[in-house]
Amino acid sequence: MLRAGCQLLTQSTLPAVKTGSNGFALEFVRWRRKPRWLPVAKSKIFRVPERKKQTEEERTELMRLHNRYKTQLRSVRQYLREEVVRHEETSTVDHIVLTPEQEEAEYQALIAANAEWNATIAREREQRLAKERDEKVAYVHERLEARQLRDEERRERANEAVLREIERSKTYITREGLNAAIETALANPVDPNFAIDMAGNLYQGRTTSQLPDADPQPDQQALSN
């Protein structure tokens, strides 16, 4: 295939091959045989290849060896042919010869082996399933206990919240005490505004100011804060 590919490549550069020069830089080093359709090179036209010299002695010796070899090989081949025939006759590779009783016995033996195997696996499976069941039960118990604990905590928290609300409900403003509460609030106005001077003194209130007083009452609490 590589040679074919090489030929395909060289066909496009056929003139280059004929003139012996390569038109472009691509040159195959590995398969640079001369194509079969080119004639014999001019320098080789009148070259007569020299025959390998073989002495008479060597030729007769080789003849003797070849005759002997052929005889021996023939007998070896004969032996191997007989061996193959013998093997084909005695071999039971491609056809199984068994009587029905033997087949039945083999079948029963296989069934028994299979049953034994099944029993072993069933035993292992039973053990495994029992273990898994125990683990599952333990897990469920654990989860149930955890849930009980959680519920109790939650109930306790709710109880605390309810008690806290009951405690606070003592100071609630009810519909009956509404007027009194309004009056109290009007009587005690609260002003969250305040001012701070450079010394850090705190002056509470804007409209409820104590400024006209010559002696303001600075709240030292701001400094402490």
Q: Which residues bind other proteins (CB under 8 A)?
A: 1, 30, 58, 62, 65-66, 68-69, 72-73, 76-77, 80-85
CB of 76 or CB of 161, closer to other proteins = 76
Q: What is the C-alpha separation between 192 and 201, in angstroms, rounded? A: 16
Reading the block at residue 211, the tokens are 């400024």
Q: How far is the CB of 94 from other proteins (least distance, A)?
A: 14
CA end-to-end distance (rounded Å), the chain: 97
Q: Are 225 and 206 in contact (CB under 8 A)?
A: no
Name the minimum Å distance from CB 32 to other proteins: 12
The CA radius of gyration of the chain, in Å to the nearest whole number, is 59
Minimum CB–partner distance for residue 3 and other proteins (Å): 10
Q: How many CB atoms lie within 10 A of CB 44?
A: 9
Between 68 and 136, name the residue whose CB sits nearer to other proteins: 68
Taking the complex as a whole, the smallest distance from the CB of residue 51 to other proteins amounts, in Å, to 16
Which two three-digit tokens encode residue 126? 């039973």
d(CA 205, CA 189): 10
Residue whose entry in the numeric block shows the structure tokens 């305040």: 194
Our CB check for other proteins shows the closer of 2 and 199 to be 2
* Least CB distance to other proteins at residue 47 (A): 25
Q: Are 28 and 6 in contact (CB under 8 A)?
A: yes
Instruction: For residues 59 and 41, give the distance between their C-alpha atoms in angstroms, rounded to a whole number.
Output: 34
Residue 28: CB partners within 8 Å, gap ≥ 6?
6, 9, 10
- Could you tell me the smallest distance in angstroms from the CB atom of residue 69 to other proteins? 5
Q: Which C-beta is closer to other proteins: that of 21 or that of 90? A: 90
Q: Which is nearer to other proteins, 60 or 210 (CB)?
A: 60
Q: Which is nearer to other proteins, 69 or 139 (CB)?
A: 69
CB of 72 to other proteins, least distance (A): 4
Copy the structure tokens of residue 119. Answer: 């029993």
Cα 220 to Cα 203: distance, rounded to the nearest angstrom: 10
62 versus 163: smaller Cβ distance to other proteins:
62
